Structure formats: C-alpha cells, structure tokens
Amino acid sequence: MKEKFYITTPIYYPSRKFTLGNCYTTVICDAVSRFNKILDKDVFFMTGTDEHGQKIAQAAKDAGMTEMQYLDGMIADAKDLWALLKIEYDKFIRTTDDYHVKSAQKIFRDLYDKGYIYKSSYQGKYCVPCESFWTESQLIEGKCPDCNRDVIDQEEEAYFFKLSEFGDKLLDLYEKNPEFLKPQSRVNEMVTNFIKPGLSDLCVTRTSVKWGIPVDFDPKHTIYVWIDALSNYITGLGYGTEDDSNYKKYWPANVHIIGKEIVRFHAIIWPAILMALDIPLPKRIFGHGWMLFGGDKLSKSKTVASCECTDPRILIPRYSSDAVRYILLREIPFGSDGNYTTELFLNRINSDLANNYGNLVSRTFSMLKKYKGSIVPSFDESTEEEIDKELKEVVAKSIVDTKNYIESNFDVSKALSSVFDIFSKANKYIEVTEPYRLAKDETKSSRLNTVLRNLLESIRIGTIMLSAFLPDCSKKVLDSLHIQNYSYSDVETFYYLNEGDSVDELGILFPRLDVQKELETLAEIQKQV
C-alpha cells in the first residue's frame, strides 16, 4: 500500500482577487504535493476559500450583488488563476459548500455537548456603520480601523470555546513533539506571546454577523470565522458526512502550510479544538514567511513603485507559469521573509532559466543532433575522466539532498537550488569536456558518446526532479526524451535511457529577456489595466 500524504493550503478570503502572496503558499504546496507523487505516495492536496464573515458581505454589497453571486464570480477567478499557475489540487473546498456547513454545525454542537462551548456575553468596541466588533488593540488611534469612525462599547450574547483549558496541553504537545510546529522560532513566539501569559476563552459566535453558518440549536448566532474556517481541513475530507472515506484514509494531515500571521490559529486554536473532539492532530504545521513588495505584505500597497508588476494575471501569460512558479519557489528562503521585485524576477528568468537550464538543454540537444543524429549514444566508462566522476557525484548528491529538503522541512527553495546544482555542473562539464572539439577528432568518438550520454542522463535526472517545481518546461524536455511515467526510483539509476532511441527536437525553453525593455513594457501594460 502506498504511503499517504495529505497537504493543505490555508483557505483564502475571496474578499479581493488573489495576489502573488496567495500564489506563494499555493505554489509551495503544489510543488511539495507533486514531489510526493514522484516519490510514489498517495497524495491528497486541498485548497479552497473561506467565504463567511462581515468583510465578504460588505464586498458583495459594494459590488451590488448577493453574497453568492459575488462569491461565485470570485471563486471562478481564483480557479482560473490556479489553472494558469498549473496548480494540481485534488479538492477545492468552499466554506459555503453544503457538506461543510452541516459538518461545521456538527463540530460546533459536539463541542457544546462535550462542555467545551458555553454561552456568555461578548464585550468589545463596536463600529455601528461597519457592524463590526474590534478589540482595543485593533483600533487605530481609538477609531475603527476600517472606516476611521468612532466606536462604542457594546455587549452581545455569544458562545465561547474553553481555550483557557488547553495551555498546558499545548505546551506538552510542543515539548513532546518538536516536529509539530516549524520553524522553531514560531514555537517560541506561541509560547512566549500567547500561552505563557495565559490563554483566554475564545468567542466563537456572533449575533451581529449575519453572513455566517448559523448555530443549528440557536440560529440567531452565526459561527464566528475560525471554527468554521479551521474545520475545513477535516470537513473537506468528508468528516461528519455520510461519505467520510477520505477522512478515514488521509487524516491526520501530514502538513498544513500557512503564512506566519495565522500560525496562532493553527498552532493553538486548531489543536485545542481537535483535542476537545478527540481527533488526532495534524503531524506538522509550517508557518512560512512573507513575500514582501516594497517592504509590505500586500502587493497593492502604496509603497510599491509604479514600475513594479505583481499581478500574476499579467506575469503568467507573458513569462510562463514556470517562470512565476520559479521566482515564488526559489527567491524567498523558506521560513523567512524575502523581497520580490519585478527586476529580480526578470533577472532570475535570464540567469537561471534561460542561461543555466535552458542553455544546457538546448546546447546538449543541438550537439546531439549535429554529431549523433539525435540518437541516444552508448557510453563507455573506460573513457571516463575525473570530471565525469565529479558530475555524477553532484547528481547523486542532489538526488539525496533534494528529497531530504522536501521531506524533512518542505524547503522548496533549497530543494530547487539543489536541482540547479546539477544544471550548473553539467554546463561546466560542457566547458571542460569540449564536445565540439571531440567531434573533430575521429579517435575521440567513443569519448564524445560518453560525454553526450552523461549530459543527457544528467538532464533527464534533473528534469524529473524539476517537474515537481516547473511542470511545463520539464514536460517538454521529458517528452523529447520519450519519458511519460516516472518516479523517484528512476533518478537513482544514472544510465537509464535506451541506446539507439531517438530524441525529439526542442524549441527554446526560456527566451532571454531585455530586462530594461520588459520593465518599460510592463509599466505600459499596467497603465492600461
């Protein structure tokens, strides 16, 4: 039986169009999911949308639509974006889906029946026009952070979850299970900032928010976002419904990958809810850092210069989904924050995709055509030199390292960099072995065969690993090599291709860009949008 692997993104708020920041988490999860498929695991990858709450109701109102009209449009747009980015999810959950609504209600009822939820009253700062409660710390200079108007003290009846009972259990969880929350810095943050000072019970319903899932035994209350949202990770598998086979098969999740600002909800509230329900906890929570645009998390912030283009709907069609996936996966050290600029993106396309990988493939394929009629040559290990051993060592190291980076820490950035070690080394191998010179000397024919074969096999191995990260260009290269189905065990054999097989021609994978000109064109395009 195949090993199971269940991975999730956060479910995103569709209160505005998804940004490059939302693409960041989704592409990471997609790459980890694809990589695990190559490792021959039975993978389930879920993403979706978090569709309740005041913000969504307001956005729909502003657009002059009903909530569902508004949401359906936003979700169609989100799914188009994921298709453009080649995101291969197994399930897209919407919290307005019927099965989710029913199952979230059941979860709420079970928590109530077990005595973990009780009725009391909620006091807070209330903005009347926005119909929103705020905590003291959310106010900006004492005023509503959304509309800048005065707020009043208000009280409303509400249900509370006994989060205060879980402090010690959570400390115990982090201590006994150091893999539960990564990176380690996030554990320190949870313990010092939230658990040690003492957890308060959590308000989990609102009577003032109409756009939400009603509590089935007290319908003037709606379930306030976090119980609704977090439970998606199990309701999406059918938990609490007639068909819970996916829940039985895939839960507990191997990992929830999320941004650092929602670690608190995932590492404190979610395990507490699950403990209360006697449900096993996810194996891992990984809180990654932010992609920063002009120092800010939001790509639309005022600090982003006008020449910057952060719109994935412009970037993907113009530069390919692979190029956008590459910058997202590679540029930001996994777990930390990192800056995105359009110039950095364009330079990466040139240096890594065009000059390194693209050039390696095109040089090798054209030499193979010129000298060997595009036929996979034989190899003769007796003609091998030191540089061949070095190349094979780099390949062997990358095979181990890439898998390790993904399996131990989901570190897509290091994994991708390790795959590129093969391509850099193979380019150097061409410089050192000079196949164009060998081709001029008949007595070196066997050596030339070996050199070209070593290059082809290095490209094959690197490209199979690359296919988890950049599926489109890898498919083109693997198609040329007539490789359709593959798994990680195929990269562990260096000589794998069949001697005498033909290799199909391949166009340019990544054209080199004139960075300055591109920046100007992008600025023009954005003016028109």
Give the residue with the Cβ less far from ligand MSP, 11 or 151. 11
Give the residue with the Cβ less far from ligand MSP, 8 or 417. 8
Distance CA 137, CA 454 (A): 62
Give the residue with the Cβ less far from ligand MSP, 84 or 396. 84
Give the residue with the Cβ less far from ligand MSP, 10 or 240. 10
Listed in order, strand segments (DSSP E) in 261-413 are 285-288, 291-293, 338-340
Residue 529 CB neighbours (<10 A) = 8
Give the residue with the Cβ less far from ligand MSP, 101 or 426. 101
- Single out the residue of 523, 20, 526 nearest to residue 307, CA to CA: 523
CB of 427 to ligand MSP, least distance (A): 32
Q: What is the 3-state secondary structure (H, E, C) of 371-415?
A: HHCCECCCCCHHHCCHHHHHHHHHHHHHHHHHHHHHHHHCCHHHH
The residues that touch ligand MSP, with contacts defined as CB under 6 A, are 10-13, 19, 21-22, 24-25, 50, 229-230, 232, 258-259, 261-262, 290-291, 297
CB of 173 to ligand MSP, least distance (A): 19
CB of 265 to ligand MSP, least distance (A): 7
- Region of 431 (left: φ > 0; alpha: ψ -120 to 50; beta: rest) is alpha
- Single out the residue of 45, 44, 42, 39 nearest to residue 26, CA to CA: 45
DSSP category for residue 165: G
CB of 95 to ligand MSP, least distance (A): 9
| Residue nearest to ligand MSP according to CB distances in the complex | 21
Give the residue with the Cβ less far from ligand MSP, 44 or 365. 44
Buried b (16+ CB within 10 A) or exposed e, 475-484: bebbebbebe
CB of 176 to ligand MSP, least distance (A): 25
- Single out the residue of 229, 256, 412 nearest to residue 325, CA to CA: 412
CB of 147 to ligand MSP, least distance (A): 20
DSSP category for residue 296: B
Q: What is the 3-state secondary structure (H, E, C) of 35-79?
A: HHHHCCCEEEEEEEECCCCHHHHHHHHHCCCCHHHHHHHHHHHHH
CB of 322 to ligand MSP, least distance (A): 20
CB of 184 to ligand MSP, least distance (A): 19
Give the residue with the Cβ less far from ligand MSP, 10 or 471. 10
Residue type, 306: S
Give the residue with the Cβ less far from ligand MSP, 211 or 488. 211
CB 409 within 8 Å of CB 288? no
